[in-house]
């Protein structure tokens, strides 16, 4: 098949050009491919690590190019880029959250009712007739059951039925494709056995927004160099003897990136929040938290001993009402004024795909004098024209936010989290933050990965690549979301958000959707209660810069088929712009997508 | 006449209402009910009416009305004034000079944190402040394995374990841990410090009872706090007191519904370097029907002939302990923590362990590093003999020291040094921490990096004794270790010589 071969060859050439000079136009592409052994520029040294500038990738074998394109796709066309431009300082308009037809709500309720009734009937008889299977739920010679049947009811009776959709083991890099270890179950998901084969699936599940999950390239090279020079650990808490020069350098870089004076880093993102609040607030203080904040914030807030109040998700009217009430009423019973009020929101909500309304929060902050803590776990790197999070997106000075928290797991393909603030605050936290004083510090190779990723985004190494990653992510997110809306699905969240929740509602549709996608070799994440409200079970797409338009079209076609199969296209069209009607033909969606994804909402 | 008219009017209204009422479906039933309940006793009907009205009010009342009991209604202007007047405390109080100096004194190591390190001040020192006790950091075999894993899996797992974050390396490392400890199953968390704070609340809930040692580390305290269980403390390592508390709980909760009961303690205490009396605890646990959660963060890879922790030290099968929590970030030089136990204990945490469910998985190369470290521990157990020899050599010198003593177990490579009580009486030491920091500075000046035992006092349930924390390593020879001990000894004497005596 000669035509196929040429197509493949051109893909390789494209991939190669991509790796060499990611942001270059077609003219430079030709020049580099004609002179593959160009003089290598000296590796830039911007601190402790020596970077490989990407020039060493000149003579790659076709296998190597294929391997790399499995982790990060070559861009199909240079027009598949987008720079988000939110009008500076303007408040965010709420996205339209469509309601499904009543019929689907009703069937969802009935589904749960059936599940609950069946579950209780099975529990009732099981505990009496199948004692060996229920041993952990009943009293055993003087020991109370290790877990109560009520607490674990939902897990045993609903989640257990779709366990094949969760914790699918993988091997290799979770990049553009994720390689799943195939497994089968013979006992309704109680146990699994591996078949020994693997499946490469398009990856819509990993938090790999900028596609830095790669085993080659400047990040992996930096990690390797750091392992050679620093080993895998610094073997002591930060405040004792676990601080190396690399920690200091990376923290300075993170601070510079987010626009704060100083930063401190922790080895786990969840633990960053868990440890942050006890050092900021205590008894007599108030935490005002968005009702959909992440579990780690709730954990940390509870540890702090402060009073916690929540407001409706992103509802700024409710937020102001609560603020006025709390400031005027003071502490419960004594009515003493609150010592301080800390408002905690997420930059980008991981289950909703919505962004916090930062302009309003910052404006209200001036009047009500609260402190603002923004958790940028998902937004850092993924949001804003320069990838610097929600402040960058809204054009707000990071100085307006007291504490910027974020994780390095997501956009940077690393792990851990950071807190960034004024130097005086960070210095004080070095004595007061339990994560800094007691916990193990970030592992040095992770620092290498972070440094390389950050310097790529800033453009200090491999010029143009960071820009390309950011712009491709923005394009991919908008293209996929628009496509799904036009096909007739109900999605949540803002247009520029790389998290796209697609509503399924009925619990039975979760495993159905996940399995159908797996059949089409696409890995997705389905979530429902307790991570979301009971009614709104959903599938959550995490878009990545490592995908190209062809991948997204594959995904749209798959969604189109499954949407018809499972009756998921319930959109009434209220969320569509320009007066469009939903339920387009998938070919029309793809044909018009590139242009329309890039146009602005009126 | 007007009166009569009114009566007629009322009569007709009542009649028309009752006619309407009868038309309502089911009204006959209500009427029949009222008639039968009346039974010539108006009080009875009145009471029922009251009950009915109360029920209506109860169902219509706002959910949180009890919280608004002391709600003061204020006008918009008043609220505005209060908002205007309110001045919050600073988010974080700025540091005073002493604290700032403490921050500035946090050592910064240039390059690898091995047994001998270079500090940012330019000083080269022996590192006795690191968990790198077996000198596995920088081990060639581990290093190559880590690099290989990065080249296969990248650095991060980019997702929680439940959503494609479980990699083959994690599964393998969990198996390796289970084999190492000889237990049925284990689960890896992404941070050691966070592990037990997730394990405890996964099982212990409101109403359950936790009996804990009063010297347990902060991570365990936080886990207990978040679980909302009833907590009873026993005196540190005092088995008689433990039995007393267990007996008291038994008496206090007699006749009440059975709830889960846990004993929580540490293997090797991080804040003291002493070892829990496991055999006695197990005996009491069986006697009073408790489950044991043992935090072996500091003892796995440290204590026992081949580093299998406290159960190996006492020669007890690890399956006797219900949950063993350990760290991969200490002597294994990796990262993350684990909980080992029965299949059910592990499976339950995969869906209820907060730090497992809501956090990204541990980077694959760190899991691989831990596996490799365990395999080295198994294949060359002589490193533990060497560690013990170094520990004893250090202790031989330090135990003859004036002014300070060690509460730690003689065989523990984690050594705490504490001021003798007599010294505190006879010398004018206002601030113990300041004194110890001076000793630390003096040691660093003489080429030995040690540390104070750093804690955040406001977060601890009980005050923690001020101590020096020293960690022995096989990366230094016996001679070097002895030299380090001499330096510490001399530093204590030197700093003490500047402290005036109290004249009685």
Count the Cβ atoms, other than its own, within 10 Å of residue B6: 10
Query: HSE (CB half, 13 Å, CA atoms) of A356?
Result: 32
Which of A223, A230, A403 is closest, CB to CB, to B111? A230
- Is A195's Cβ below 8 Å from some Cβ in B? no
SS3 A527: strand
- Is A427's Cβ below 8 Å from some Cβ in B? yes
Which residues of chain A have a pLDDT value below 70? 1-44, 53-58, 601-602
A431:B366 CB<8 A = no
Confidence at residue A95, expressed as pLDDT on a 0 to 100 scale: 81
CA–CA separation, A169 and A182 (whole Å): 8
Q: Taking a contact as any Cβ pair under 8 Å apart, which residues of chain A between 370 and 399 contact chain B?
A: 370-371
Q: State the smallest CA–CA distance between residue B15 and chain A in angstroms.
A: 43
Hey, of B155, B341, B458, which one would you mutate to test binding to chain A, going by the most A CBs within 10 A of its CB? Answer: B155
Hey, of A183, A241, A406, which one would you mutate to test binding to chain B, going by the most B CBs within 10 A of its CB? Answer: A241
Residues of A in contact with B109 (CB under 8 A): 234, 241, 243-245
Hey, of B122, B158, B188, B288, which one would you mutate to test binding to chain A, going by the most A CBs within 10 A of its CB? Answer: B158
Question: Of the ranges B6-20, B92-106, B205-219, B338-352, which one carries the lowest mean pLDDT score?
Answer: B6-20
Residues of A in contact with B197 (CB under 8 A): 274
CA–CA separation, B425 and B502 (whole Å): 8
pLDDT single digits (tens) A354-383: 999 999 999 999 999 999 999 999 999 999
ipTM score of complex: 0.89
Count the Cβ atoms, other than its own, within 10 Å of residue A384: 23
CA–CA separation, B191 and B457 (whole Å): 22
B147:A403 CB<8 A = no
- Is A302's Cβ below 8 Å from some Cβ in B? yes
| Closest residue of chain A to B225, computed from CA coordinates | A303
- Is A148's Cβ below 8 Å from some Cβ in B? yes
Nearest to A49 by CA among A254, A255, A245: A245
Hey, of A233, A288, A430, which one would you mutate to test binding to chain B, going by the most B CBs within 10 A of its CB? Answer: A233
Nearest to B30 by CA among B22, B20, B40: B22
pLDDT single digits (tens) B127-149: 999 999 999 998 999 999 999 99
Using the Cα atoms of residue A202, residue A205, residue A210 and residue A211 in order, give the sign of their dihedral: negative
- Is A189's Cβ below 8 Å from some Cβ in B? no
CA–CA separation, B335 and A443 (whole Å): 7
Confidence at residue A365, expressed as pLDDT on a 0 to 100 scale: 94
Which of A172, A215, A415 is closest, CB to CB, to B190? A415
Residues of A in contact with B208 (CB under 8 A): 144
B110:A245 CB<8 A = yes
A169:B171 CB<8 A = yes
A369:B87 CB<8 A = yes
| Closest residue of chain A to B290, computed from CA coordinates | A143
Q: Would you call the peptide bond into A530 cis, given omega within 30 degrees of 0 as the criterion?
A: yes
B129:A169 CB<8 A = no
Residues of A in contact with B258 (CB under 8 A): 139, 142-144
Which of A146, A232, A430 is closest, CB to CB, to B334? A232
Asked whether residue B481 carries a pLDDT value surpassing 70, the answer given is: yes
Residues of A in contact with B351 (CB under 8 A): 155, 159
The Cα angle at residue A540 between residues A538 and A546, in degrees rounded to 5: 165
Which of B131, B168, B469 is closest, CB to CB, to A169? B168
Over residues B20-40, the mean pLDDT reads: 78
Asked whether residue B111 carries a pLDDT value surpassing 50, the answer given is: yes
CA–CA separation, B174 and B185 (whole Å): 7
Q: Taking a contact as any Cβ pair under 8 Å apart, which residues of chain A between 484 and 543 contact chain B?
A: 523, 525
A146:B348 CB<8 A = yes
**Is the Cβ–Cβ distance between B197 and A274 less than 8 Å?**
yes
- Is A119's Cβ below 8 Å from some Cβ in B? no
**Token match 């699918």: residue?**
A168
Parallel, antiparallel, or unpaired for β A286-290 and A537-542?
unpaired
- Is A138's Cβ below 8 Å from some Cβ in B? no
Which of B113, B154, B217 is closest, CB to CB, to A235? B113
Asked whether residue B478 carries a pLDDT value surpassing 80, the answer given is: yes
Asked whether residue B415 carries a pLDDT value surpassing 90, the answer given is: yes
B112:A299 CB<8 A = no
SS3 B117: strand
Which of B130, B164, B191 is closest, CB to CB, to A267? B191
| Closest residue of chain A to B191, computed from CA coordinates | A268
Start-to-end C-alpha separation, chain B: 109
Cβ neighbors of B477 (< 8 A, separation 6 or more) are none
B86:A337 CB<8 A = yes
Q: Widest CA span of chain B, in angstroms?
A: 123
pLDDT single digits (tens) B209-248: 999 999 999 999 999 999 999 999 999 999 999 999 999 9
Q: State the smallest CA–CA distance between residue B369 and chain A in angstroms.
A: 8
- Is A284's Cβ below 8 Å from some Cβ in B? no
Confidence at residue A54, expressed as pLDDT on a 0 to 100 scale: 54
| Closest residue of chain B to A281, computed from CA coordinates | B91
| Closest residue of chain B to A201, computed from CA coordinates | B164
A215:B154 CB<8 A = yes
Over residues B106-114, the mean pLDDT reads: 94
- Residue A284 φ then ψ, to 5°: 90, -5
- Is A299's Cβ below 8 Å from some Cβ in B? yes
Residues of B in contact with A299 (CB under 8 A): 226, 354
B146:A142 CB<8 A = no
Hey, of B94, B120, B154, B358, which one would you mutate to test binding to chain A, going by the most A CBs within 10 A of its CB? Answer: B154
Structure tokens at B279: 């055999």
pTM value is: 0.88
B358:A268 CB<8 A = no
A242:B87 CB<8 A = no
């Amino acid at each position: 098949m000669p035509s196929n071969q040429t197509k493949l060859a051109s893909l390789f050439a494209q991939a190669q050009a991509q790796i060499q000079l990611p942001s270059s136009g077609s003219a430079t592409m030709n020049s580099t491919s004609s002179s593959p052994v160009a003089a290598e520029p000296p590796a830039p040294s911007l601190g402790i690590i020596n970077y490989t500038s990407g020039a060493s990738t000149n003579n790659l074998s076709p296998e190597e190019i294929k391997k790399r394109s499995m982790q990060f796709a070559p861009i199909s066309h240079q027009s598949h880029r987008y720079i988000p431009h939110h009008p500076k300082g303007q408040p965010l308009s709420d996205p339209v959250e469509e309601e499904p037809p009543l019929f689907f709500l009703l069937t969802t309720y009935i589904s749960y009712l059936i599940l609950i009734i069946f579950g209780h009937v099975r529990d009732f008889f099981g505990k009496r007739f199948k004692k060996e299977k229920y041993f952990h739920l009943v009293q055993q010679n003087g020991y109370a059951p290790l877990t109560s049947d009520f607490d674990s009811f939902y897990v045993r009776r609903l989640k257990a039925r779709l366990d094949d959709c969760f914790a699918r083991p993988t091997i290799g890099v979770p990049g553009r494709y994720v390689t799943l270890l195939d497994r089968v179950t013979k006992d309704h998901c109680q146990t699994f056995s591996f078949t020994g084969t693997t499946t490469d699936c398009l990856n819509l599940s990993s938090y790999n927004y900028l596609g830095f999950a790669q085993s080659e390239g400047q990040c992996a090279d930096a990690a390797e160099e750091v392992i050679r020079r620093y080993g895998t650990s610094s073997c002591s808490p930060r405040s004792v003897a676990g601080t190396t020069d690399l920690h200091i350098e990376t923290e300075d870089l993170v601070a510079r990136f987010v626009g704060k004076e100083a930063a401190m880093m922790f080895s786990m993102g969840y633990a960053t929040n868990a440890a942050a609040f006890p050092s900021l607030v205590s008894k007599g203080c108030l935490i005002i938290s968005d009702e959909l904040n992440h579990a780690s914030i709730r954990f940390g807030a509870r540890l702090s001993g402060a009073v916690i109040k929540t407001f409706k998700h992103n509802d700024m009217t409710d937020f102001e009402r609560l603020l006025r009430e709390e400031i005027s009423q003071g502490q419960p019973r004594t009515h003493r004024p609150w010592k301080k009020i800390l408002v905690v929101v997420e930059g980008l909500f991981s289950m909703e795909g919505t962004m916090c309304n930062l302009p309003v929060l910052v404006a209200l902050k001036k009047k009500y004098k609260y402190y603002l803590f923004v958790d940028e776990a998902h937004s850092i790197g993924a949001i804003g024209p320069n990838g610097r999070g929600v402040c960058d997106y809204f054009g707000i000075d990071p100085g307006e936010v007291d504490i910027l928290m974020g994780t390095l797991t997501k956009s940077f393909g690393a792990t851990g989290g950071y807190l960034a603030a004024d130097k005086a605050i960070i210095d004080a936290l070095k004595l007061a933050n339990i994560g800094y004083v007691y916990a193990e510090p970030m592992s040095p190779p992770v620092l290498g990965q972070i440094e390389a990723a950050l310097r790529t985004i800033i453009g200090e190494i491999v010029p143009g690549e960071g820009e390309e990653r950011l712009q491709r992510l923005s394009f991919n997110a908008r293209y996929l979301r628009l496509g799904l809306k036009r096909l007739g699905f109900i999605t949540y969240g803002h247009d520029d958000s790389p998290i796209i929740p697609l509503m399924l509602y009925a619990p039975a549709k979760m495993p159905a959707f996940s399995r159908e996608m797996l059949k089409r070799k696409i890995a997705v994440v389905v979530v429902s209660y307790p991570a979301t409200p009971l009614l709104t079970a959903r599938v959550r797409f995490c878009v990545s810069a490592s995908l190209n338009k062809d991948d997204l079209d594959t995904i749209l076609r798959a969604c189109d088929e499954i949407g018809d199969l499972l009756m998921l296209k319930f959109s009434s069209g209220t969320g569509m712009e320009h007066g469009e009607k939903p339920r387009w033909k998938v070919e029309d969606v793809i044909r018009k997508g590139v242009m329309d994804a890039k146009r602005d909402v009126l | 006449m007007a009166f009569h008219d009114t009566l007629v009017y009322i009569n007709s209204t009542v009649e028309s209402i009752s006619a309407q009422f009868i038309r309502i479906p089911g009204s006959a039933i209500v009427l029949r009910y009222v008639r039968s309940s009346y039974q010539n006793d108006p009080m009875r009907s009145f009471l029922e009416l009251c009950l009915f009205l109360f029920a209506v009010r109860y169902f219509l009342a706002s959910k949180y009305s009890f919280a608004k009991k002391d709600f003061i209604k204020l006008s918009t202007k008043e609220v505005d004034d209060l908002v205007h007047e309110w001045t919050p405390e600073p988010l974080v109080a700025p540091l005073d000079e002493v604290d700032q100096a403490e921050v500035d004194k946090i050592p910064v190591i240039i390059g690898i944190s091995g047994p001998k390190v270079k500090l940012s001040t330019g000083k080269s020192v022996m590192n006795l402040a690191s968990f790198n006790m077996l000198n596995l950091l920088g081990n060639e075999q581990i290093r190559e394995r880590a690099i290989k894993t990065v080249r296969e899996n990248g650095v991060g797992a980019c997702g929680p374990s439940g959503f494609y974050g479980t990699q083959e390396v994690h599964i393998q490392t969990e198996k390796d841990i289970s084999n190492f400890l000889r237990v049925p199953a284990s689960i890896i968390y992404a941070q050691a410090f966070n592990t037990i704070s997730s394990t405890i609340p996964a099982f212990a809930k409101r109403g359950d009872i936790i009996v804990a040692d009063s010297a347990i580390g902060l991570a365990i305290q936080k886990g207990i706090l978040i679980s909302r269980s009833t907590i009873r403390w026993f005196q540190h390592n005092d088995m008689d007191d433990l039995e007393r508390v267990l007996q008291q709980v038994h008496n206090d909760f007699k006749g009440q519904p059975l709830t889960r009961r846990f004993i929580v303690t540490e293997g090797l205490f991080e804040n003291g370097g002493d070892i829990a009396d496991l055999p006695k605890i197990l005996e009491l646990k069986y006697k009073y029907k408790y489950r044991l959660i043992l935090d072996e963060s500091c003892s796995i890879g440290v204590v026992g002939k081949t580093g299998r922790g406290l159960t190996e030290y006492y020669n007890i099968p690890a399956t006797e302990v219900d949950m063993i929590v350990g760290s991969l970030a200490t002597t294994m030089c990796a990262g993350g923590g684990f909980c080992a136990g029965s299949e059910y204990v592990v499976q339950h945490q995969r869906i209820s362990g907060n730090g497992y469910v809501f956090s990204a998985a541990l980077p694959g190369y760190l899991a691989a590093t831990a596996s490799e470290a365990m395999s080295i521990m198994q294949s060359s157990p002589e490193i533990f003999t060497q560690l013990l020899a170094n520990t004893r050599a250090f202790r031989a010198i330090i135990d003859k020291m004036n002014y300070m003593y060690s509460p730690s177990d003689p065989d523990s490579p984690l050594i705490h040094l504490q001021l003798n009580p007599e010294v505190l009486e006879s010398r004018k030491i206002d601030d113990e921490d300041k004194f110890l920091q001076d000793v630390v500075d003096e040691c660093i000046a003489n080429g030995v990096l040690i540390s104070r035992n750093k804690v955040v006092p406001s977060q601890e349930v009980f005050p923690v004794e001020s101590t020096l924390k020293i960690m022995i390593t096989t990366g230094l020879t016996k001679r070097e270790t002895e030299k380090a001990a001499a330096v510490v000894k001399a530093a204590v004497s030197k700093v003490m010589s500047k402290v005036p005596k109290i004249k009685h």
